[in-house]
Amino acid sequence: MKNNILLLFLTWSLSSSMVFGQKMPIENGKLGGILPIGENGKAIIQVVEPVSGSNKSALFQRARRWFVQSYGSANKVLQLNDSLTGELSGRATFVINPTMIGVPVKTQIDHLITVEIKDGRYRATVTDFFMTAKTIVGPIESIKGTSKGFLIKVYTMIDEESLALLKSLKTAMSTEKSDF
């Protein structure tokens, strides 16, 4: 019995070492077939949304309010806050819990979020994803030392979290502040 367990462990170790350390391929312009890759080679999720009947100033205030509601404090997150150019940009973090061999792995994803505003529209970009999970640390485009299956789960969760952020921003940008 002990020999079977040892043999199973050695087989798993050897087979997993063949996939560990391999860089995730870009398929159809997407990292792992999931996250779009920009011209600079980094994963990027970007939307351009029209907001009819709203000027740049009103949209800027809505975006700033969204940063406060989403991250607790705009001042903690924002590195660029320019109402003249209509740009808001900051570094933030979300936590995901992908599983590895059935065990959830707490994974911190740092990212850059930028909102560029003009009259009647805005562009929001989430990029510069940096992963921290126990001994796995680095930009998501060059993570090594883990399995392809784990990275696919990470990329999928990053995509879902980023799209949820952008959806909440869209709601905030189309909602006028009440007088009360």
Cβ neighbours around 107 below 10 Å, total: 21
Inside any domain, residue 40: yes
pLDDT (tens digit per residue) in 151-180:
999 999 999 999 999 999 999 999 887 544
Q: How far apart are CA 123 and CA 116, in angstroms?
A: 5
Split into its structural domains, the chain has a count of 1
Q: Hey, what are 145's tokens?
A: 């030392």
Contact by Cβ (8 Å): 107, 154: yes
Checking if the pLDDT of 126 tops 50, the result is: yes
pLDDT for residue 44: 97
What are the distances in angstroms from CA 3 to CA 6, 35, 80, 118? Answer: 5, 42, 60, 68
Q: Hey, what are 94's tokens?
A: 């979300």
Contact by Cβ (8 Å): 90, 107: no
pLDDT for residue 123: 98
In the numeric block, the tokens 């150019």 are attached to 85
- CATH number, domain containing residue 150: 3.30.530.80
pLDDT (tens digit per residue) in 56-106:
999 999 999 999 999 887 778 899 999 999 999 999 999 999 999 899 999
Checking if the pLDDT of 41 tops 50, the result is: yes
pLDDT for residue 152: 94
Contact by Cβ (8 Å): 79, 137: no
Note down the domain range covering 80: 23-173
Inside any domain, residue 158: yes
**Which is more confident, 28 or 4?**
28
Inside any domain, residue 17: no
pLDDT for residue 6: 39
Q: How far apart are CA 51 and CA 170, in angstroms?
A: 9
Inside any domain, residue 122: yes
Checking if the pLDDT of 145 tops 90, the result is: no
Checking if the pLDDT of 20 tops 60, the result is: no
pLDDT for residue 155: 96
pLDDT for residue 173: 95
Inside any domain, residue 13: no
Q: Does the global pTM surpass 0.95?
A: no
Inside any domain, residue 152: yes
Q: Supply the mean pLDDT for the chain.
A: 86
Inside any domain, residue 4: no
Question: Which residues lie closer than 8 Å to 9 by C-beta, 6 or more apart?
Answer: none
Beta-bridge mates of residue 61:
none
Of the pLDDT bands very low, low, confident and very high (cuts 50, 70, 90), residue 7 is very low
pLDDT for residue 144: 86
pLDDT (tens digit per residue) in 128-140:
999 999 889 999 9
Inside any domain, residue 3: no
